[in-house]
Amino acid sequence: MSEEINRVFLLPGEYMVSKQPYRISTLLGSCVSICLHHPQHRCGGMNHYMLPRGPSGESAGKYGEYANSVLLKFMERVCGGFSGVEAMIIGGANVVKEIGRADNKNIGEKNIALARGMLKQHNIKVIKEQVGGDVGLKLHYQNWDNKLIVEPMSRSATSSSLLVKPENTFQATAAAAPAGRSSGTIKVLIVDDSAIVRNLLTKAMSGEPDITVVGQAKDAFEAREMLLELGPDVMTLDVIMPKMDGVTFLKKVMVYHPIPTIICSTIAKKGSQTEFRSDKIGAVDVIDKEALNLYSGLETVKQVLLPKIRAAARTPVHRKTKDEVSNV
């Protein structure tokens, strides 16, 4: 085709609708994506949501009720209505085996049911479903011709169900610890309760040919889902966060789903208890956030953080036992 093809990677909570040609990609576990396409208009779009609905009607892109409403609204606006629009539903794998909170059981099935119900409500024909199963999917969608390429992820990438219960217990099925990376793009997950910090760290890593930020999480619960869905190679982790502090979360990660982790916190001073505990638990590095000079440009962030990201990606991490981390 003569038009330039744009490429975009959707993170959980994001969507894309356009008449311009886009190749849209994402990774799905229990999450679901809806692809919408209008053959005559040669336009289409896709979203990516994690849970059917938010607590107390919270509106956010990671919740299907809101995410699907937004996708439908913009598709209706671009195409002038839903007549002729076709849909595909992908995802909803059973990769999370059980979660202590009753409203989060069978997440994949609920995500699928919500997609079906909302499309039926708008009389949109579903021409294809690739849903369920127990393996995550890599998804590539071409919005101009409705071509969909779906690749199964390796079972090891989707078998570790990181489960946080309300009482802060943490369970998972066993999985092999990463053996360390030597080449390829480094996928980074940023975990910090400050949206400003998350965006600054993301901006500092953008443009690096060997580093890609695949997700941002504001707390341990979101990080748990993204570790499962996105399979990052390195995680940066704040300590002072709501619901569960970063050191407690690090203990659970190192027991159930080891990943090279860099603690990045204002209380991670050199010689501090936070530095000592993080090192003992298994963090590959510890950064005092103040040393990054986050609010004075990105040069210091790049100089300090990027080499540590690359080093972390090459560092093998070893699974800890509960006894090894319990008293740290």
| Residues in a beta bridge with 1 | none
Average pLDDT over residues 208-224: 90
Amino acid at 63: Y
List, for residues 109-120, the tens digit of each pLDDT value.
999 999 999 999
Catalytic residue numbers?
26, 31, 48
Q: Please determine, for residue 86, whether its predicted confidence score (pLDDT) is greater than 90.
A: yes
Residue 182: per-residue pLDDT: 41
Architecture of the domain defined by 163-326 = 3-Layer(aba) Sandwich (3.40)
Rounded to the nearest integer, the mean pLDDT of the chain is 85
Q: Please determine, for residue 224, whether its predicted confidence score (pLDDT) is greater than 90.
A: no
Answer whether 6-158 and 163-326 agree in fold: no
Q: Is 187 helix (H, G, I), strand (E, B) or coil?
A: strand
pTM above 0.95, yes or no: no
- Cα–Cα distance between 171 and 165 in angstroms, integer? 8
Query: What are the backbone angles phi and psi of residue 227, rounded to the nearest 5°?
Result: -60, -40
Strand-strand pairing, 15-18 and 43-47? antiparallel
- Cα–Cα distance between 59 and 65 in angstroms, integer? 8
Q: In angstroms, what CA-CA distances link 171 with 163, 176, 258?
A: 5, 15, 13
| Residues in a beta bridge with 26 | 139
In this structure, whether the domain defined by 6-158 belongs to CATH 3.30.1330.200 is answered with yes
Which of 231, 230, 250, 228 is CA-nearest to residue 239? 250
Q: Please determine, for residue 167, whether its predicted confidence score (pLDDT) is greater than 80.
A: no
Q: Which residue has the higher pLDDT, 106 or 289?
A: 289
Q: Please report how the helices 273-281 and 246-256 are oriented relative to each other, as an axis angle in degrees rounded to 10.
A: 10
List, for residues 42-81, the tens digit of each pLDDT value.
899 999 998 898 877 677 888 999 999 999 999 999 888 9
Rounded to the nearest angstrom, the gap between the alpha carbon of residue 238 and the centroid of all alpha carbons in its chain is 17
